[in-house]
Amino acid sequence: MSSLRSADAGGGAGLGVAVLGSTGSIGSQALDVLAAHPHEFRVVALAAGSNGDLLAEQARRFGAGVTALGASGEDLAEIAARDDVDFVVVATGGIVSLRPVLAALTAGKVVATANKETLVAGGHLVMPLARSLAAARAAGDPGDPYASPLAWLRPIDSEHSAIWQCLVGEPLNRVASLVLTASGGPFLDGPADLARITPAQALRHPTWSMGAKITIDSATLANKGLEVVEARWLYDVEDDAIEVVVHPQSVVHSAVRFVDGSLKAQLGTPDMRTPIQYALTYPDRLPSPAAAVDLVAAGRLDFRAPDEARFPALRIAREAGRIGQRATTALIAADDIAVARFLDDSLGFTGIPALLAAAVERFGAGVDQAPDVDALIALDDEVRGWATTWQGAGA
């Protein structure tokens, strides 16, 4: 097993890191964090989709010997499983990252992922690998920080990082529920009729600065629905043990409710470098360039229940999660196309949840709710083709 060669063994060369999707929003922030800790990490491989100029510049800056542009899932899997890679940061969108995540875990590497398909589509394939790596470490020493599946499959999403941080050191059988916070997006307080929302309006996120896809997903609450599905896999809990609470200030990143009535939360500024860095340094913490929360400046923290009538995507995602992996794979593939269509004006804002519901209904049924990776990729492709020309309410 090549994983954790350097840090785990106390070596001086730093962990060998591969960043998949290095030119994107999460990928470039991951590189900022890595640059701040040159003794702990060594960037050995970088992969991007199409931005060859930025990829080349990043490779020069970090001395990365391996680069890949527009690579297939199989090629990314080869990079993820390289002997000189200890740690894989997954910052691509899409199902292209599923093969490299599976390859990395199979080879005993640590994976930190922002990519949603990893769990929403592939949770049933990915989590058993993380659990078996954890079990092997627990057999040696139950107190080993690597005796937890979350040490092997580390969430980057701020909400999941918050829950993870709240769970460290806690008995998992004493968790009552998980509380995912949602900013509520730009339309929390209106307008009542969302049908005529334009892309420019939906792209104005009130608290976070993110890529276009996830910003629209925040405005529809589809993002929160995908996070509920991810949470079920990451923390091994049922849907009814996951609460969603709207918190417009985005200071409380999420929380865990325990059986004794205690509610433990993680607070931070809306800066993805904090959860990215925690995923890289767990179980340790290092100084970060991200600003800390100023509680006095924050002043007040508001919470309210989500409005599932105005934002049905949350309910649709929960339903998909209850059906199984075909339904959640259809959901996330359809969402990618729905958001792209909304951004190019071929689908209305309320057409997004309508398309998601139609996709779950059409593709979610079927006996095989645990498809293998080839079947998932084929389903993803089929749903995308169908969603591109879907015409229904809101389209």
Could you tell me which stretch among 19-27, 227-235, 348-356, 362-370 binds ligand NAP (CB under 6 A)? 19-27
Least separation in angstroms between residue 301's CB and ligand NAP is 21
Is residue 313 involved in binding ligand NAP (CB under 6 A)? no
Taking the complex as a whole, the smallest distance from the CB of residue 63 to ligand NAP amounts, in Å, to 19
Helices (H) and strands (E) in the chain, counts: 18, 10
Closest approach of ligand NAP to the CB of residue 289, in Å: 16
- Residue labelled with tokens 């840090």: 7
Please report which residue ranges of the chain form alpha helices under DSSP H.
Answer: 5-8, 25-36, 52-62, 73-80, 98-106, 117-120, 123-140, 149-152, 158-167, 199-202, 212-220, 222-235, 273-281, 295-298, 313-323, 325-343, 351-364, 373-389
Q: Which of 81, 96, 127, 376 binds ligand NAP (CB under 6 A)?
A: 96
Q: For residues 156 and 153, give the distance between their C-alpha atoms in angstroms, rounded to a whole number.
A: 10
The CA–CA distances, whole Å, from 213 to 209, 243, 270, 333 equal 12, 24, 17, 12
Our CB check for ligand NAP shows the closer of 28 and 249 to be 28
Q: Residue 48, interface with ligand NAP (CB under 6 A)?
A: yes
Query: What is the strand order of the sheet 66-69 is part of?
Result: 66-69, 41-48, 15-20, 87-90, 110-113, 153-155
CB atoms within 10 A of CB 25: 19
By CB under 6 A, tell whether 20 contacts ligand NAP. Answer: yes
- From residue 265 to residue 304, the character string flagging contacts with ligand NAP as x (rule: CB under 6 A) and all else as - is -------x--------------------------------
- Minimum distance from CB of 96 to ligand NAP (Å)? 5
Based on the number of CB atoms within 10 Å of its own CB, is 173 exposed (0-12), middle (13-18) or buried (19 or more)?
Answer: exposed
Q: Is residue 210 near ligand NAP by the rule CB under 6 A?
A: yes
Q: Which of 49, 186, 306, 324: binder of ligand NAP (CB under 6 A)?
A: 49
The 154-193 site mask, x for binding ligand NAP (CB under 6 A), equals: ---x------------------------------------
24 binds ligand NAP (CB under 6 A): yes
State the CB neighbour count (10 A cutoff) for residue 23. 23
Residue 121 is a binding residue for ligand NAP (CB under 6 A)? no
Strand pairing class (41-48; 242-246): unpaired
Q: Is residue 32 within 8 Å of 273, Cβ to Cβ?
A: yes
Query: Can you tell me which of 50, 142, 305, 345 binds ligand NAP, judged by CB under 6 A?
Result: 50
| Among 3, 25, 148, 250, contact with ligand NAP (rule: CB under 6 A) | 25
- Which of residues 79, 114, 314, 360 is near ligand NAP by CB under 6 A? 114
For binding to ligand NAP (CB under 6 A), which residues are involved?
20-27, 47-51, 70-71, 76, 91-93, 96, 114-116, 157, 210-211, 214, 272
